[in-house]
Amino acid sequence: MILAERYQVVRPLAQGGFGKTFLACDRYLPGNPHCVIKQFRPVNLADSQLPTAQRLFDLEAKTLYQLGTHPQIPTLLAHFEKDGEFYLVQEYIPGVSLADELTQSFPPSELAASRQDYAYQLLHSLLTALSFVHQRSVIHRDIKPGNLIRREGSSQLAVIDFGAVKAIGAQSSALTIAIGSPGYIAPEQQAGRPCFASDLYASGIIALYALTGKAPQQQPTDPETGCLQISSDGISSEPSFVQFIQQLIKFNPAARFPHASAALNTLQSLNLTSASVAFPPTAFPISLPPFPETVLPSDTFPKTSLLDPKTVSPISAPAKTFVPTQQNILSPTESRNRQALLSKVDRFWIKGVLEHSLHGQVLLTLGLEENQRALSLPWNISYSQAAQPPQQLDAGVQVYDIFAQQGEGRSLLILGEPGAGKTTTLLTLARDLLENAQPGQRIPAIFNLSSWTGGSIAEWLISELNSKYQIPKAIGEAWVNGQQLLLLLDGLDEVRGDRQNDCAIALNTFHQNYGPELVVCCRIKDYEALDQQLGFQRALMVRSLTDEQIWQYLAQADSGLTGLRSLLERSTSTAVTVEGTSESGQTLFDLARSPLILNIMALTYQGLSASEIPALTQGESYTQQLFSAYISRMFQRRDIASPYSQQQTLRWLHELATTLTQTSQTVFLIERMQVPWWLTAAWQRYSYVVLLFLAYLVIATSIGWQVVSHRSLPLAIVIGAVMCARIFGIYRIVPAETLRWSWKKARHSFFLGLTLGPLIGWALKVGFVYIFSPGYCVQVPGCLLEISLIGLSFGLVIGINYAIIRGLSGTRITTVTKPNQGIRQSGKNAILFALVATIAPTLTSLIFANSTSTQFWSIAGLSFGLALGGGEACLKHGILRFVLFCQGRTPWHYPHFLDYAAQRILLQKVGGGYIFIHRLLLEHFAAMKPLK
């Protein structure tokens, strides 16, 4: 291939998500010298990302041109477009990549006599090049060994691949996309706020690699902060050099050097130069002029937005205190709201689920492995990571350590087989995050993606905060838009099948637009079937249990698992399922590698000998038989009273599981039951509508007696308007859960009511008289004045009571959550609202109107209070529950039954809701044949 009729392509050098890099020769120059050609050809790049990728590619050309000629930076030779594709031609630098050099057991002897000399020489050469780059107000943003070339025949390091550069200027404080390579990207750079010190962070990591011979992933980290720990112990180096490297990799960018020139001057002042280290002459003075104030990191990155919670000294022990900043100071209301959500997450998920989960029965550490191939990495991040096979992490590594190590703006994908422990891993991370939560930091909150049915993730989160955690939507919206939540999202695989790919796209869009910190869990097979991968920073795979872990668990004293152990010993080479099942060819021991299955086996077969364990039935998979045996064993527990028969329990749980599966729900909230979810047949909905109509008719009749008796036309219009307005939402049940007096809303509404109320009342009264009694004003002298006064007083009553009712519409975060709390609270609020709406108009009518309208105002207020205060939700919910009870699909005392199922270890309570102990058990109940 010949490009621009000049450059002859010799061979490919590399390929990434944005295109290819070739080695070529220039046919027009003497000797046909080699050059490097970058071809911009995005692969699997979304249309929305294309402008960003193209902009960065053009920026690389402009930056190389701006940097001019320097012995450590490739020279730009050409930049052109052909057939809609963009090409960049630059100098070819022959030599060895530092990535290859660092993998050797020891640096080449001609470069240094010790690792300190080697690291010193490497750092000196790199900082020299970065000083030149920073002086021209440019950040490289992708300093890593693969982008450093040791020029052939020289000890110089050349910095290549400026595709991720960022120019620093007046707008440098604005957020930008997170670009960098895992292990070398600085925390603030991950958060989209790179600065000069970000390049120094990567330089320090490379120097540490050279000094210790350990890659970034192998370096020890602080278990609480995730920061790298360096100690002079075990390192043959001067303490001052170790401290210098420690300063380069500080978590807080303000604690590092402001730019490469300052770091280089400090490095030279250490006087560590060895005779074996030879430095080539530089093309410019090392002492550079001062940087402009506008480009200092203190301007490009707010000092109060990111703090190292432990100012780690390379020699001394880390401090244990949290340093509060201006950003950590919360108002009493903000602190109370934050603590309410933290308490609910802890009570619902940690104490309610994690500490009572089946996985908690197996006290084993789940193994983890890195799986970057599962991610859609940005086009200019190291794509060599994506080509690597999964890397097993050391035993004992906790997901919290890995997550904390990423720093600000972190994101993580957790994958695994069904029952492998993904949710347990997520909940364990949530527990550790709650234990380390500090004022001003993001609030860990757990959500299940199964309830996502479309739309933006932000809107869905606000709705979930309201329905699952009872967070008013105004507060939830402020939290989501203000990036105040650390999102732990379980169940991407539980989203309805035809919407899973759309959900992945929505997550990527939300991640790109909101810059949140989030973790997502998904089954590995469901994730691999997606067309759209997640563009997160890291991906972990939860490994199956090892043979040693299984045997260790089964060998526990007094566990009563000798029968199960004997059965597994005999089944290590015998398949347990018939051909055609999803588990065909697996043995019982293979299935026991799942922590969930092992726990189910233990609870089901505890105390039984191998001969007492039922034999397998042809035509049914082992997990189906295992879950059936587990359910039967749970009903044999004698320590629990049985108010319901086994047949009733199975039928009602089947109905619940079927409804949750069809509506893509995981957490069941009684107060959120909706007619379309439960009454799917037409005749079922007809029965509901008829009963609801009869209830409305009874209410209308009781009020209508007053209408006829007093011939109050306005009341008839009011009743008709209310009934017509509510009938359109006949299938929707919206609990009115919270009422709170708000002086602010009352003041605004009072002013509006006093202004518009009398005008509206006067217009209505005068209009009624002229329409229905046109001759009255002619026959009665002074009637217009009398009617006007009555209308004004009528409107004044309306205005005052409008302010009172609006003052009761304030919101708050409830701290206590019980099953069906929303409907019960709606009933209480309806009574309170009705009393206020009845008494207030009655009293004000006696003052501003006349005594004959007192009964009218009492009836009108009562009807409005019951309808608007939550009575309608109670009525609809009660009729729905009555219909389901008559059909035998649910018990009448539903919360009592669900608590009973939780005692039988079939369900678990999550706050005011319930979940099945595992998704697999939910699917098992849903697949059961309907019971009579």
Residue 55 to residue 58: CA distance in whole angstroms = 5
Nearest alpha carbon to residue 304 among 333, 324, 285: 324
Query: 18-24: long-range contacts (C-beta < 8 A, 24 or more apart)?
Result: 18/42, 18/43, 18/45, 18/53, 18/57, 18/163, 18/379, 18/380, 19/43, 19/85, 23/92, 24/89
- Give SS3 for 370: strand
Beta-bridged to residue 88, according to DSSP, are 38, 79
Active site residues: 142
Residue with the two structure tokens 């089964």: 554
Q: In degrees to the nearest 10, what's the CA dihedral of 463, 467, 469, 470?
A: 100
Both structure tokens of 590: 């293979």
Residue 195 to residue 306: CA distance in whole angstroms = 13
Both structure tokens of 659: 């409804």
Residue 351, C-beta contacts closer than 8 angstroms, at least 6 positions apart: none
- Give SS3 for 114: coil
Both structure tokens of 66: 């701006």
Residue 37 to residue 9: CA distance in whole angstroms = 8
> Do the beta carbons of residue 3 and residue 37 sit within 8 Å?
yes
Both structure tokens of 170: 């007046």
DSSP 347: I
> Do the beta carbons of residue 898 and residue 637 sit within 8 Å?
no
According to the 3-state scheme, what is the secondary structure of 760-773? HHHHHHHHHHHHHC
According to the 3-state scheme, what is the secondary structure of 653-695? HHHHHHHHHHCCCCCECHHHCCHHHHCCCHHHHHHHHHHHHHH
Q: Is 496 left (phi over 0), alpha (psi -120 to 50) or beta?
A: beta
Nearest alpha carbon to residue 838 among 813, 863, 812: 863
Residue 249 to residue 208: CA distance in whole angstroms = 9
> What angle separates helix 473-481 from helix 457-469, to the nearest 10 degrees?
140
Helix or strand run (H / E) with residue 20 = strand 19-26
Beta-bridged to residue 38, according to DSSP, are 21, 88
Residue 178, C-beta contacts closer than 8 angstroms, at least 6 positions apart: 185, 189, 190, 191, 192, 378, 409, 537
Residue 740 to residue 746: CA distance in whole angstroms = 11
- Give SS3 for 23: strand
The identity of residue 322, as a single letter, is F
Residue 713 to residue 679: CA distance in whole angstroms = 38
Residue 165: CB atoms within 10 Å: 22
**How distant is the alpha carbon of residue 747 from its chain centre?**
38
Distances in Å between the alpha carbon of 614 and those of 567, 605, 611?
11, 10, 8
Residue with the two structure tokens 């003041």: 747
Q: Is 308 left (phi over 0), alpha (psi -120 to 50) or beta?
A: beta
Residue with the two structure tokens 């978590």: 251
Both structure tokens of 29: 């120059």
Residue with the two structure tokens 């699952």: 468
